[in-house]
A and B are shown apart, each in its own frame.
Chain A
Amino acid sequence: MNFEFSDDQKLLREQASRYLADNCPPAAVRTILEGDAAYDAKLWTGVGEMGWTAACIPEEFGGLGLSYVELCVIAEELGRVAAPIPFSSSVYLATEALLMAGSKDQKESWLPKLASGEAIGAFALAETAGRPSVDYLKTCASDNSAETALTGSKIAVADGDVADFAVVVAASDASAPGDGANWYLVELDQPGVARKPIETFDPTRSHAQIEFKGAAAQRLGNAGEGWRLTERLLDRAAVLFAWEQVGGADAALEMAKEYALGRYAFGRAIASYQAIKHKLANAYIKNTLARSNCYYGAWALNADSEELPLAAATARVAAIQACNFAAKENIQTHGGMGFTWEFDCQFYYRRAKLLSVNIGSEAFWQDRLMHAVERRDAA
């Protein structure tokens, strides 16, 4: 049994943790929360210089060719500090989409720039409220060719306002064979695209609404495989999102613990009351279950195992639950102070919920988990 990070991976964690302590303190998160900047550009540049954006890109495209376990380590540390950068959109989604489905040309055009952090990518799926499915896609291309024009609109696209391109999920031509969807690679700085930043409950991560009005688009991957690709991409990204959430969950628990030890009521630390102790022990249990499930997810992602859909959904559901619980109970443990703008508890409360809807909600992933179990048992 070797179900643990290697010494090299542990070293990477220490390095990442030190770097982020220096370059992403709470004050940096607050600057983005309170200011006009969409993300922390200095941190983004630094993260690129550290090679984190290049982690899983093959060396031939300017990447480091590390394993996905390394990327999981980085994700956890970014989650721990609630880093205000477009890492998840660009690395877990756009880069992965190109790696999964990009042609040689598409990869050569974008992967080196994604690796250095010079380019930012986004993933555009949602069109309306409610659970994403192939049936609700209205965005579509004018014809079924590889170079085409895209029309439609996408809402709540994470980092859509700052991205250089987006991978867009669109309905395929009704007469074409396949699963009903295509992927398109769309440069966002072009006349056929109108985008505007939208307000969300987590201003430390910017979002946009994007209109495509006959935008020049290249198909990414084969025609009629867009939904299958989307599901596969979501499975892969779910593991990485889950690690970010586990990092955030741990940080929120740590914050609650420190406050409870220092805050006195009725002559003793509130950390000595069972009402607080059991709450925090519960958070510890949820975090531990989530972390162990995330190990499974990391293994399945890295091994490209056929268990990935089940492992990803399990890690994702556990991490959503752990992160939301720790974030809300961190505020509760802080009492009134936790509800003030001045305190940093809000960072995790905002981020936890944002991460839990960004690539599909708890209910969406519970359902995917059960589908994966059903497929496994039917086999």
Chain B
Amino acid sequence: MDFNDTAAEATFREEARAWLSDNVPSEQELAGMDYVTSAKFWQKRKFDGGWACIRWPKEYGGRGASAIEQVILHQEEARFDTPMNIFTIGQGMAAPTLMTYASDEAKARLLPPMASGEQIWCQLFSEPSSGSDLASLRTRSERGGDDWVINGQKIWTSGAHYSDYGILVTRSDPTVAKHKGLTYFFLDMKSPGVEVRPIKQISGDSNFNEVYFSDVRIPGAQRLGEVGQGWQVALTTLMNERATIGAGYANVNFDVACKLARRIRIDGKPAIEDPAVRAKLANWYVQESGLKFTGYRTLTALSRGEIPGPEHSIGKAVGAAKTQDMASFCVDLLEMAGAISDPELAEMDGLIQMTYMSAPGHRIAGGTDEIMMNILAERVLGLPQEPRMDKGIPFNEVPTGT
């Protein structure tokens, strides 16, 4: 057991590190750009240098790299301060779906600009009454000549306001059972009849949108998979979702909480000396460490060219709730001052309060904690599903609450 790269991995790491240190954009280069522009600027530079979407085949802009090489590149890039990555939904979820289901012509046309960041993609799956039970979605698709005509509403669409394309699941036949009446498309987000409205979150931010479709026409050639096979296509997308969403976000973590507990005093002594505080901190350390070394085990499997075991899927189920608990605990440590969120006045520029207010979203996005537990129970432990009341019933006869 060791933590070392193989010789080939070490060479690749050096190569990546050298390129990054020469090419990560400086503050001056990014001056005056908003986050979308600076993200595109960095992505284009990576693409031109041959460092974008490196696992993809060369013809689409990649370099046919291995999974472990991609991880090494991510690790090395994380050492630098780079613009936010707004391309993961396209590159991580839409791209694998296109590679499996799109025509060669469509792949050649759509994948290179996706890799270069010139075109951004979003995912149009969830609906106001279809969250965890995604297959109960209602947005209608009907044939209109060679086109399809779309009506309905999607929700929680990250980045819809700056996206060029979207992947979309629709109901093409409500008279058959719910999984059998779905059809999958990709579409131009500038199509007439598409309306994007930002959603204001409890944190005050607007990362998500509602997207309304009013007689939006999609050319028949933009269908992915057969009519009625949309669920199978969607599964390809969703299998790639957890890998994408689990990716870290700057937040309250063990080191932040520890730093705070050293500074805040309880009865004249640093809070970190309080046994109750120590026990909590130790438990969070155990969780962070456990996730980190679970990640190392996943890397080992990748490094050996194996498919990682199911243990890598616990990250989201553990991480989101932990972050929420830690933020809540840090607010408490601050006592009365914990309520202050003004970055000018609050401890740590308001990071704690900001995390507290954004944490509920992370426990829901990309599969709620409860859905993650179902997935672990069913796919890892092999336990049966709950009985489903809508099984085999035509979709338009399934009882609904609204």
Contacts and interface: CB of A to CB of B under 8 A. Distances in A.
Interface of A: 1-5, 69, 257, 260-261, 268-269, 271-274, 276-278, 280-282, 284-285, 288-293, 295-296, 298-299, 302, 313-314, 317-318, 321, 363, 365-367, 369-370, 373-374, 377
B250 interface: no
B384 A271 contact: yes
Interface of B: 1-5, 9, 68, 258, 272, 275, 278-279, 281-283, 285-287, 289-294, 296-297, 299-301, 303-304, 311, 314, 317-318, 370, 373-374, 376-378, 380-387
Contacts of B275: 363, 367
Contacts of A2: 1-4, 300, 303
A277 B373 contact: yes
A244 B283 CA distance: 20
B278 A370 contact: yes
B383 A272 contact: yes
Contact of A284 (B281, B304, B376, B387): B376
A293 B293 contact: yes
Contacts of A269: 384
A363 B277 CA distance: 11
Nearest to B9: A1
Contact of A285 (B299, B300, B318, B385): B318
Contacts of A288: 290, 294, 311, 314
A4 B281 contact: no
Nearest to B304: A4
Given A2-B300, A3-B297, A293-B289, A274 B282 contact: no
A1 B299 contact: yes
Contacts of A69: 1
B386 A272 contact: yes
Instruction: From B272, B285, B374, name the one whose CB has the most chain A CB atoms within 10 angstroms.
Output: B285
Contacts of A314: 285-286, 289-290
B381 A280 contact: yes
B297 A293 contact: no
A21 B122 CA distance: 53
A321 B286 contact: yes
B4 A285 contact: no
Q: Name the 3 nearest CB pairs between A and B, nearest first.
A: A289-B290, A277-B377, A366-B282
Nearest to A254: B381
A348 B3 CA distance: 34
A373 B281 CA distance: 10
Instruction: From B272, B278, B282, name the one whose CB has the most chain A CB atoms within 10 angstroms.
Output: B282
Given A3-B3, A282-B373, A367-B282, 11 more contacts: A1-B9, A269-B384, A272-B385, A277-B374, A284-B314, A284-B377, A285-B376, A289-B287, A292-B292, A295-B297, A366-B283
Contact of B286 (A3, A272, A295, A318): A318
SS class, residues of chain B in contact with chain A = helix
Contacts of B311: 288, 291-292
A284 to B, nearest CB: 6
A4 B5 CA distance: 13
Nearest to A5: B1
A260 to B, nearest CB: 7
Nearest to A289: B290
Contacts of A285: 314, 317-318, 376
B58 to A, nearest CB: 26
B179 to A, nearest CB: 19
22 contacts: A1-B300, A2-B3, A2-B303, A3-B293, A3-B299, A3-B300, A4-B300, A4-B301, A257-B382, A268-B387, A285-B318, A289-B290, A290-B290, A292-B291, A292-B294, A293-B290, A314-B290, A321-B286, A363-B279, A370-B285, A373-B258, A374-B272
Contacts of A292: 289-294, 296-297, 311
A367 B383 CA distance: 37
A287 to B, nearest CB: 9
Given A277-B383, A278-B370, A318-B290, A289 B318 contact: yes
Contacts of B290: 288-290, 292-293, 314, 318
